[in-house]
Amino acid sequence: MSLVRVVHRTAFSYPASVTASYNEARMRPVDDDFQTLRSSRMTISPHTWTDAYEDYWGTAVTIFEVLQPHEDLEIVAEATVEVADVVEDRPQVEWEELGGRAVLDAHVQFLAATPTTAVPDEVAALALEVAAGRPPAEAAEAICLAVRDRLEYVPGVTTVHTPAVDAWAAREGVCQDMAHLAIGALRSVGIPARYVSGYLHPRADAAVGVPVVGESHAWLEWWAGRWVAYDPTNRRFAGADHVVVGRGRQYGDVPPLKGVFAGGGASDLEVTVEMTRLA
């Protein structure tokens, strides 16, 4: 178990005055069986009202609008989260159960391809080859590793909306590309898989109470008897250094911030994440 404080700051600067801005933020970590949200708050400048709701996928959404003219907009989301260690036991489920009506009905949304998770035939064939002779839980990890081993981690060549097929063609990408590709490969063989958005504490050796530069991160969860969290980028199961904010079919279901604004022109964007182990 670890207790972590996360400070996620997003700042926009505009070359001209913005007359109105309407936004929704998904920056509040989840509170579930594996993660306890101790506290959270969001500060917005210019100061404005906020409201909150839980979206279809179970992610907390904060909505706000800024109707006074402004040339800068800053959103600071702070949270303290208790995260459980990785669960080592492997669930046991057979392929026949995965293909049964109960699983298909329960997880149909995490079995269908989406524009950013659809994989080319080459990846589907690779997943089928890797899964042969393995039970689903073992096959899922092997598929994630096989996809990851064929991609080089290269920032800047893709965006959060790049389709998996394009990242595969380039054989380059970052965490969301590796998550999208692995999700598509898992779904292609009948293993339900969902996209996870959150934060990763990058330093296992960081002392308690010392802030470090954290990362917004993407990984996945597959279902093979229960949901299992796996980080394909780092080739390991997600654990106490992973803080979950949202889950969905793909990145488009869980963007940290999205909105529209009037005026202003092209903005400069600065995003920082600071993480501190508290215990």
Residue with tokens 């904010």: 245
pLDDT confidence bin for 89, thresholds 50/70/90: low
Q: Is residue 87 scored above 80 in pLDDT?
A: no
Q: Which CATH architecture has domain 2-84+255-277?
A: Sandwich (2.60)
Mean of pLDDT values over 201-213: 93
DSSP state of 49: -
Q: Is residue 264 scored above 80 in pLDDT?
A: yes
**Domain 95-253 sits in CATH 3.40.50.150:** no
CB-CB contact of 62 with 48 (8 Å): no
Whole-prediction pTM: 0.95
Amino acid identity of residue 137, one-letter, is: A
- Helices (H) and strands (E) counted in the chain, each on its own, are 6, 15
Assign residue 263 a region (left: φ > 0; alpha: ψ between -120 and 50; beta: otherwise). left
Per DSSP, helices labelled H in the chain are 95-98, 101-107, 121-131, 136-149, 164-170, 175-188
Distances (CA, A) of 3 to 47, 201, 215, 234: 30, 11, 17, 21
Task: Give percent of the chain above pLDDT 90.
Answer: 91
Q: Is residue 146 scored above 80 in pLDDT?
A: yes
**pLDDT tens figures, 33-69:** 889 999 999 999 999 999 999 999 999 999 999 999 9
Give the pLDDT score at 88.
Answer: 63
* Domain range annotation of the chain: 2-84+255-277, 95-253
Give the pLDDT score at 92.
Answer: 78
Q: Is residue 243 scored above 80 in pLDDT?
A: yes
**pLDDT tens figures, 166-195:** 999 999 999 999 999 999 999 999 999 999
Give the pLDDT score at 271.
Answer: 96
Give the pLDDT score at 215.
Answer: 87
Q: Is residue 238 scored above 80 in pLDDT?
A: yes
pLDDT confidence bin for 86, thresholds 50/70/90: confident
Of 11-25, 89-103, 116-130, 229-243, minimum mean pLDDT range: 89-103
Mean pLDDT of the chain: 95
Distances (CA, A) of 109 to 55, 104, 209, 225: 15, 9, 41, 17
Mean of pLDDT values over 5-17: 97
Give the pLDDT score at 205.
Answer: 87
